[in-house]
Copies of this chain bind each other. A is one copy, B any other.
Amino acid sequence: MERISIDQARAHEGQQVEIQGWLYNLRKSGKIIFPVIRDGSGLMQCVAVKSNLPEPVFEALKNLTQESSLSVTGTVRAEARAPGGYELDVTDAHVVQRVPEERPYPITPKEHGVDFLMDHRHLWLRSRRQHAAIRVRHEVIKGIRDYFDSHGFILVDTPIFTPSACEGTSTLFEVDYFEDEKVYLTQSGQLYNEANAMAFGKVYCFGPTFRAEKSKTRRHLTEFWMVEPEMAYADLEEVKRVAEELVVYLVGRVLETRQEELKVLERDTAKLANVKSPFPRMSYDEAVKALAAKGSEIRWGGDFGNTDETLLTQDFDRPVIVDRYPAEIKAFYFQPDPERPELALGVDMIAPEGYGEIIGGGQRIHDLALLEKRLDEHKLPREAFEWYLDLRRFGSVPHGGFGMGVERFVAWMCGLEHVRETIPYPRMLYRTRP
């Protein structure tokens, strides 16, 4: 007899199979009971009829506790009303471990506070909504990799241990290396990406990233995953084109493959279905004007707050691309606009529905003298950047790229208010366990 996972039921209609999982739910109706089993791939409603089963098997099932582990044997039958479309007519069952009544599974259908659930994150992940969010995350990550791998990009992992900061040192986590040496956890692979793009043409890095920000907003984690592509011989327009193409691809893929999960999450998928090319584009100047007209207090030269980002996208059904920011509020490495050097050729993509900035990037400085000047202006230690300057000495070319945070993107896909549910074990200001 074949052992199958629940998502394979369709291919085994009418056959005798074994499934192995955990008791998700149990409904009793006299001499018939309906245990719902979960096995990680799906849910299967089983039908156990007293008269068809040995007495001890029926009794064991009837008194089974939530999340007890068991294997069930039976015949797969199509049943349109069942979750997943199939039921199992039970012919035998074997309890692997019974959760004792004295210490029942701590997460019950009643409401629990978020702190309680986060303390039990190792179990909470079994819940349907959490399960769905992590499966959407899996699909987004696979989609990102498939996109870049099929568009000529080479994966070049950038280091986690870095000797210096990419953007300021106040939000760096410090690590004791050997013999009094200090290193810092990466905030971005970009500077390394630039070196890698000169070697491979088009590259991406994709790994965990760290920010020691003492913020407690719903958009911040101290440890999060970020993908960062970088392209040689690319300008701002090319960066925008790739960012838009990637986002359209990912949204389409999630809609195509994760309908079931989005339903569990009660996501309004009509809103995601609007996310098609072209995205609205505006300059920072235009954005400031639009915001002023909507009553924002932003002045030219200021950065957008969360409220501004939401205001800016509220008239649109898809992400908004904003470019050409004041150089003053951008990092040292941005190429200036040739026509208005006070502007940086940076670009952000702001998601609709209040999900905020999901992508930030732009074109980098390729001129050695200008980059040296910027390092001085930003009082950055020249010696630590000598290797980065080398990229402008030995075959410098216009180049650019962007970074996209996985958790914010997944939060948007899932319609989740807080990024903490988009990563298996979130790390925040007051959360490092389990």
- 9-residue interface stretch from A84-92, A130-138, A245-253: A130-138
Question: Which residues of chain B have C-beta atoms less than 8 A from A22's C-beta?
Answer: 198, 395
Is the beta-carbon distance between B208 and A394 smaller than 8 angstroms?
no
Known: A192-B122, A201-B39, A427-B159. A394 touches B105 (CB 8 A): yes
Question: Which residues of chain B have C-beta atoms less than 8 A from A20's C-beta?
Answer: 232-233, 397
Is the beta-carbon distance between B97 and A134 smaller than 8 angstroms?
no
Count chain A residues whose beta carbon lies closer than 8 angstroms to a beta carbon of B: 93
From B141, B157, B387, A122 is in contact (CB under 8 Å) with B387
Question: Which residues of chain B have C-beta atoms less than 8 A from A210's C-beta?
Answer: 160
A345 contacts B by Cβ under 8 Å: no
Is the beta-carbon distance between A201 and B154 smaller than 8 angstroms?
no
List A217-269 residues whose CB lies under 8 Å from chain B. Answer: 222-223, 225, 232-233
Is the beta-carbon distance between B97 and A156 smaller than 8 angstroms?
no
The residue of chain B having its C-beta at the shortest distance from the C-beta of A104 within the complex is: B394
A288 contacts B by Cβ under 8 Å: no
Question: Which residues of chain B have C-beta atoms less than 8 A from A214's C-beta?
Answer: 178
- 9-residue interface stretch from A54-62, A169-177, A293-301, A348-356: A169-177
Is the beta-carbon distance between B175 and A175 smaller than 8 angstroms?
yes
Is the beta-carbon distance between A185 and B175 smaller than 8 angstroms?
yes
Q: How far is the CB of A51 from chain B (nearest CB, A)?
A: 28
A302 contacts B by Cβ under 8 Å: no
Is the beta-carbon distance between A200 and B131 smaller than 8 angstroms?
yes
A396 contacts B by Cβ under 8 Å: yes
B-contact 0/1 string along A148-163, CB 8 Å cutoff: 0100101111111111
A424 contacts B by Cβ under 8 Å: yes
The residue of chain B having its C-beta at the shortest distance from the C-beta of A197 within the complex is: B40
Number of this chain's copies in the assembly equals 2
B-contact 0/1 string along A354-370, CB 8 Å cutoff: 00000000000010000
Q: A423 to B157: give the CA distance in the assembly, Å.
A: 7
Q: How far is the CB of A432 from chain B (nearest CB, A)?
A: 5
Known: A22-B395, A122-B387. A161 touches B200 (CB 8 A): no
B-contact 0/1 string along A376-388, CB 8 Å cutoff: 0000000000011
Known: A122-B195, A424-B196. A161 touches B222 (CB 8 A): yes
The residue of chain B having its C-beta at the shortest distance from the C-beta of A164 within the complex is: B433
Which of A40, A198, A210, A232 has the most chain B CB atoms inside 10 A of its CB? A40
Q: How far is the CB of A96 from chain B (nearest CB, A)?
A: 5
Q: A434 to B166: give the CA distance in the assembly, Å.
A: 13
Is the beta-carbon distance between B432 and A181 smaller than 8 angstroms?
yes
Known: A134-B154, A178-B212, A201-B39. A161 touches B432 (CB 8 A): yes
A310 contacts B by Cβ under 8 Å: no
A425 contacts B by Cβ under 8 Å: yes
Is the beta-carbon distance between A201 and B99 smaller than 8 angstroms?
no
A429 contacts B by Cβ under 8 Å: yes
Question: Which residues of chain B have C-beta atoms less than 8 A from A395's C-beta?
Answer: 22-23, 67-69, 96-97, 99, 105
Known: A173-B175, A223-B161. A5 touches B201 (CB 8 A): yes
A390 contacts B by Cβ under 8 Å: yes
Question: Which residues of chain B have C-beta atoms less than 8 A from A142's C-beta?
Answer: 145, 149, 155
B-contact 0/1 string along A384-414, CB 8 Å cutoff: 0001101111111110000000000000000
Is the beta-carbon distance between B155 and A141 smaller than 8 angstroms?
yes
A307 contacts B by Cβ under 8 Å: no
A318 contacts B by Cβ under 8 Å: no
A420 contacts B by Cβ under 8 Å: no
Q: A145 to B7: give the CA distance in the assembly, Å.
A: 20
Q: How far is the CB of A76 from chain B (nearest CB, A)?
A: 18
Sample (16) of A-B pairs whose CB atoms are under 8 Å apart: A5-B152, A40-B197, A96-B396, A120-B387, A122-B192, A122-B387, A123-B390, A125-B196, A134-B156, A138-B149, A141-B155, A159-B425, A163-B432, A177-B432, A183-B432, A387-B434
Known pairs A5-B201, A41-B152 / 14 extra A-B pairs, C-beta < 8 Å: A40-B201, A97-B366, A125-B195, A126-B199, A138-B155, A141-B155, A157-B208, A161-B223, A161-B427, A173-B176, A175-B175, A192-B424, A207-B208, A387-B434
